[in-house]
Structure 1
Amino acid sequence: MLHLLSLHYTAPERAAEPFIPGHVAYLERHHQNGTFLISGRTVPTSIGGVIIAHGVDRPAIEQITAQDPFVVNGVAEYTITTITPGRVHPALDSLLAPGC
């Protein structure tokens, strides 16, 4: 399963600034354990960011997003879209093995 995580600021972008180091550590932790495949800022950055996650079910990804320091501190929230891949580029086959 794949999850498209859209992060949206719920406060002015400046309000998130004190929590950036914790947010970056959160991203790094989940990239290192393989849950987050891609993460990045939106353009414009004032909207928030996007993450593509895999390898966990919906309840697990809901728990993971709830731990983001931006969410914990009330400056952002996630919209989660769960995707069951129908077609996958051959370059991603091994990464997105059945059951992911």
Structure 2
Amino acid sequence: MLHVLRLAYTGSAEEAEPHVREHVDYLERHHASGAFLVSGQTAPPSDGGVIIARGDRAAVEEITGQDPFVRAGVGAYSVTTLDPGRVHPALAGLLDAG
């Protein structure tokens, strides 16, 4: 399964700033594990960020609770699960690996 993780800031940019380095480490860790396929800030960045994750929804929801922004109370996730019906051939192997 794929999941669209929408991170919305619940605090100000000033409140989030002390947690940015830990948040980047969090992203890097979950990209390295293969749980996160794509991540990035929205445009404009003040709206938050989006992550495309793969795996079991319960495990992905647990991962979102580990985000330093969430732990600090300056961010919250919404999770939308997608059961891919059609996949571009360039992505098929990547999605099968999850």
What is the TM-score of this pair, normalised by structure 1?
Answer: 0.94
Tell me if 1:91 matches 2:90: yes
Deviation at 1:30, TM superposition (A): 0.2
1:93 match: secondary structure: helix
Question: Which amino acid counterpart does residue 16 of structure 1 have in structure 2?
Answer: A
Q: What percent identity do the matched residue pairs reach?
A: 59
Cα distance in structure 1, aligned partners of 2:34 and 2:49:
19
CA offsets per residue over residues 28-81 of structure 1, 9 Å max, x none?
Answer: 000001110000000001110000001x21111110000000000000000000
Tell me if 1:53 matches 2:76: no
Unaligned runs of 5+ in 1: none
Unaligned runs of 5+ in 2: none
Match of 2:21 in 1: 21
RMSD of equivalent CA atoms: 1.0
Deviation at 1:3, TM superposition (A): 0.4
1:6 match: secondary structure: strand
Alignment length (residue pairs) = 98
Cα distance in structure 2, aligned partners of 1:59 and 1:33:
16
Cα distance in structure 1, aligned partners of 2:24 and 2:12:
18
Cα distance in structure 2, aligned partners of 1:47 and 1:6:
10
Cα distance in structure 2, aligned partners of 1:72 and 1:93:
34
Match of 1:81 in 2: 80
Q: Structure 1 residue runs of 4+, over 6 Å off?
A: none
Deviation at 1:96, TM superposition (A): 1.0
- Compare the two structures and name the one with the higher helix fraction: 2
Match of 1:43 in 2: 43
